[in-house]
Structure 1
Amino acid sequence: MFNPSQQDVRRFFCGVAAKSRAGHPMDALETLAGQWVGEHPEYAGDLADEQAALAAQHDGSDGRANPFLHLAMHLSISEQCSIDQPRGIRQAVELLAARRNSLHDAHHEAMECLGQMLWESQRSGRPPDGDAYVECVQKRATKD
């Protein structure tokens, strides 16, 4: 099972940003990540210097989101939708994207559900509840 470290994730996104800036070819995962990096120009400075990225602390005390966590969540949701795992997530995110008229906005709402599922799993010591996650996204997609 793929289990990247925090440093691996930071190196990956910094590498994607560098390849994107230079116009270098990317593999499929890098291309997908590059699309999300492109949606977040506010993270350009965080991604420009790999050594600074590896040393940076993102604990929320400065009021900013962790750019690497944020981008990794976009990538995770994209991958989940591509294989519909947990079952129903693709349809729920697509419905939410249609309702919000934006896949990007839908991902941001789905991130809240994903974060809640992971937090509850860690707090309870139980496995993540994929059904609750999908239900959370579905509820967001069906409310105004």
Structure 2
Amino acid sequence: MFNPSQADVRRFFCTVYTKGLGDEPMEAIETLAHQWIAEHPEHHPELSDLDDALARVGEPAQEGQENPFLHLSMHLSISEQCSIDQPPGIRQAVELLTARRGDLHAAHHEVMECLGRMLWESQRAGRPPDGQAYIDHVRQRATQD
């Protein structure tokens, strides 16, 4: 999945959720996705109905509700970034933040804010994402109380 559509992403996460319920074999990326899905039981209802998830492609999230597919995709993206250390230094920055918070999941949620900020600034300015600013922002969080 290098350029998945919204429907592809929803299909992927719903399929992983279903495989997890049936204790079916999974590919490595599915296993990682399943671990993040397990951390978010509040999203299980949306993941349990593929037809409804596909019918809602393009709909904005309800007031005060996050998009579970975007949220889980960000977890996977951060996990992948750390596994290949791209942008260079992200692995160490996330490890520092995780050590500071004492919880990988909580650290990921903070990293998501940094990632979202970097992407927003990139889109707003019409320039490529600034990986160094992203890493610096994660490191700043790792040194704050």
Structure-1-length-normalised TM-score: 0.97
Provide, for residues 6-36 of structure 1, a one-character-per-residue CA deviation record: whole Å limited to 9, x for no partner.
1100000000000000000000000000000
Cα RMSD of the aligned pairs, angstroms, is 1.2
User: Could you list the runs of 5+ residues in structure 2 that have no partner in the other structure?
Assistant: none
Does structure 1 residue 109 correspond to structure 2 residue 126? no
| Distance in 1 separating the partners of 2:116 and 2:89 | 18
Displacement of 1:97: 0.6
Give yes or no for contact 1:58–1:65 (8 Å, CA) kept in 2.
no
Matched with 1:65 is 66
Asked if the contact 1:19/1:26 (under 8 Å) is kept, the reply is yes
* 1:1-144 superposed matches below 5 A: 2-56=2-56, 59-144=60-145
4+ long deviations beyond 3 Å: none
1:56-76: per-residue Cα shift (whole Å, max 9, x none)? 255243211000000000000
Aligned length: 144
Question: How far 1:2 sits from its partner (Å)?
Answer: 1.1
Specify every segment of 5 or more residues in structure 1 that has no aligned partner in the other structure, as ranges. none
The AA in structure 2 aligned to 1:11 is: R
Task: Report % sequence identity.
Answer: 67
How far off is 1:54 after superposition? 1.0
